[in-house]
């Protein structure tokens, strides 16, 4: 079938695309949308990567809708991109070769909850907040919290993480099994509800983090946790980022089971104070959360307070009042918007790296020194219990010099993390934005292995083309 090629990606010929859209219209009627506004919404990114909208959007309501869309698109060699809530950060939902986006927001049911086994079966479009509202009355919760109210299918696809990862792990650790629509429209079942298995290849974790490039997740079986008896939130200020990082390292090394431990540098604290109407000391800050029984939480808080004091921390205050905890963590989750408010009209790029925890203090302090040298503003927040931190870089997109300095900063940040045996992304994923850093991190042999897997699983290259693995 004739095609055209742009940016190393194959676009369908207009006749092939028209035939696919005609077949999709016959199947879905007004659930196939081609208006420009809707198409652009489904390619929206929060980076400097240009918006690349699909040619149409299918509003899926059941697994058969995904299957039929894939079959039609495969027949005409038209790309297919899965879309959850659009909160991904590296151009994951862009359509650089055009094609059809499958919007999964209406596939948002909880199919089963097995409270005694601490697991549930869900559709991919359900968001984490909706799932936890459904589970609350059963004394259960799903712990992965990336901040945004993302869909669980999207979180699995990007191998998302978040503020609770230091205790509860990432999506990699909390997905038991998947049902995935493959390139011919048939369903792959990757596992069962058993808590462990050694039966064959680990297909579940092949698809977790694949960013929709190998198939489309249609159902997930997830681990759940019991809601803790007591939850305490705490805050502690430090005179330097290095001191805060050292307290984090000591807490992890001494085995304190911290549920959350977040670093905000001074610039980020200033932004949160202004946006969320807080009065925190505008110095580096650790926000923490402890889960357990009342006695356990008190003991954990006491032990961390002693470590903080040893590392030069200021007053260590903690609370179990739900309203106080909510206010504190909502300010953390609003960090992106607080940064955006610092410089209205500027572009914001949120990026992340992750390093071994022993190198965390070095990486963060060297990053701050780079910002000062380049005269750039980029508040820093971090899930520092696992060595992961985020920079929210503010730049005037109409100022070529400032943009060039911004690009230099981003490049140096990733090179620094990789030189410390770290990674170019701890939880945001690769998408389009970080493809160029994979060879330095993993080597050409690993990239060839990825290309081989992609070719085997998606020989027509219709699933989210142009993501993760750079062109050879």
pLDDT at position 8 is: 61
pLDDT at position 10 is: 79
| Whole-number Å distance between alpha carbons of 179 and 190 | 6
Segments in 119-223 forming alpha helices (H): 128-135, 152-157, 165-168, 171-174, 203-207
| The residue to which tokens 């850093």 are assigned | 437
pLDDT at position 5 is: 35
Q: Where are the beta strands (DSSP E) in 244-365?
A: 258-264, 285-292, 316-319, 347-354
Going from N- to C-terminal start, the domains of the chain cover 3-105, 110-226, 230-332, 337-419
The CATH number assigned to the domain with range 337-419 reads: 3.30.70.2740
Q: Over its length of 472 residues, how does the chain's per-residue pLDDT go in tens digits?
A: 333 334 468 789 999 999 999 999 999 999 999 999 999 999 977 777 889 999 999 999 999 999 999 999 999 999 999 999 999 989 999 999 999 999 999 999 999 999 999 999 999 999 999 999 999 999 999 999 988 899 999 999 999 998 899 999 999 999 999 999 999 999 999 999 999 999 999 999 999 999 999 999 999 999 999 999 999 999 999 999 999 999 999 999 999 999 999 999 999 999 999 999 998 999 999 999 999 999 999 999 999 999 999 999 988 878 888 888 888 888 888 998 999 999 998 988 889 999 999 999 999 999 999 999 999 999 999 888 899 999 999 999 899 999 999 999 999 999 999 999 999 999 999 999 899 999 999 999 999 999 999 999 999 999 999 999 987 7
- We find that the CATH architecture of domain 3-105 is 2-Layer Sandwich (3.30)
Sheet of 100-103, strands arranged across: 32-33, 56-59, 100-103, 80-83
pLDDT at position 194 is: 96
- Classified by CATH at the fold level, domain 110-226 comes out as 3.30.465
| Whole-number Å distance between alpha carbons of 10 and 462 | 9
Strands 100-103, 56-59: pairing is parallel
Asked if 230-332 and 337-419 have one fold, the answer is: yes
The CATH number assigned to the domain with range 230-332 reads: 3.30.70.2190
Contacts of 261 (CB under 8 A, 6+ apart): 166, 248, 251, 286, 287, 288, 289, 383, 384, 385
């Amino acid at each position: 079938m004739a095609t055209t090629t742009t940016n190393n990606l194959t676009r369908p010929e207009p006749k092939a695309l028209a035939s696919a859209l005609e077949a999709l219209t016959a199947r879905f009627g007004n659930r196939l949308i081609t208006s420009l506004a809707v198409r652009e919404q489904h390619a929206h990114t929060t980076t400097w990567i240009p918006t690349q909208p699909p040619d149409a959007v299918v509003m899926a309501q059941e697994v058969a809708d995904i299957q039929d869309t894939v079959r039609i698109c495969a027949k005409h060699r038209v790309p297919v991109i899965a879309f959850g809530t659009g909160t991904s950060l590296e151009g994951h939902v862009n359509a650089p070769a055009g094609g059809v986006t499958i919007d999964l927001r209406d596939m948002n049911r909880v199919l089963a909850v097995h409270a005694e086994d601490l697991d549930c079966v869900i559709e991919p479009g359900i968001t984490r907040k909706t799932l936890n509202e459904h589970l609350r009355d059963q004394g259960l919760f799903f712990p992965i919290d990336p901040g945004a109210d993302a869909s669980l299918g999207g979180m699995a696809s990007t191998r998302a993480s978040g503020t609770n990862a230091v205790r509860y792990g990432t999506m990699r650790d909390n997905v038991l099994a998947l049902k995935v629509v493959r390139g011919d429209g048939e369903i792959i079942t990757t596992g069962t509800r058993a808590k462990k298995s050694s039966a064959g290849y680990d297909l579940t974790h092949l698809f977790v983090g694949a960013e929709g490039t190998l198939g489309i997740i249609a159902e997930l079986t997830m681990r759940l946790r019991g809601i803790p008896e007591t939850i305490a939130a705490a805050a502690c200020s430090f005179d330097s980022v290095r001191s805060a990082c050292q307290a984090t390292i000591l807490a992890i090394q001494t085995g304190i089971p911290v549920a959350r431990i977040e670093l905000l540098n001074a610039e980020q604290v200033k932004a949160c104070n202004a946006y969320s109407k807080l009065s925190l000391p505008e110095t580096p800050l650790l926000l923490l959360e402890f889960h357990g029984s009342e006695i356990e939480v008190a003991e954990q808080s006491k032990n961390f307070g002693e470590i903080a004091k040893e590392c030069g921390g200021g007053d260590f205050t903690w609370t179990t009042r739900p309203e106080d905890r909510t206010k504190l963590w909502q300010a953390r989750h609003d960090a992106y918007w607080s940064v955006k408010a610092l410089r209205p009209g500027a572009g914001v790029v949120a990026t992340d790296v992750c390093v071994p925890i022993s190198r965390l203090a070095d990486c963060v302090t060297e990053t701050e020194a780079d910002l000062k040298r380049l005269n750039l503003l980029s508040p820093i927040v971090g899930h520092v219990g696992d060595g992961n931190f985020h920079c929210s870089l503010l730049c005037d997109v109409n100022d070529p010099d400032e943009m060039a300095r911004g690009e230099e900063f981003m490049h140096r940040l990733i090179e620094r993390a990789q030189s410390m045996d770290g990674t170019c992304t701890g939880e945001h994923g690769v998408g389009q934005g970080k493809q160029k850093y994979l060879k330095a991190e993993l080597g050409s042999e690993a990239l060839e292995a990825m290309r081989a897997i992609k070719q085997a699983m998606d020989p027509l290259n219709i699933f989210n083309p142009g993501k993760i693995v750079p062109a050879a």
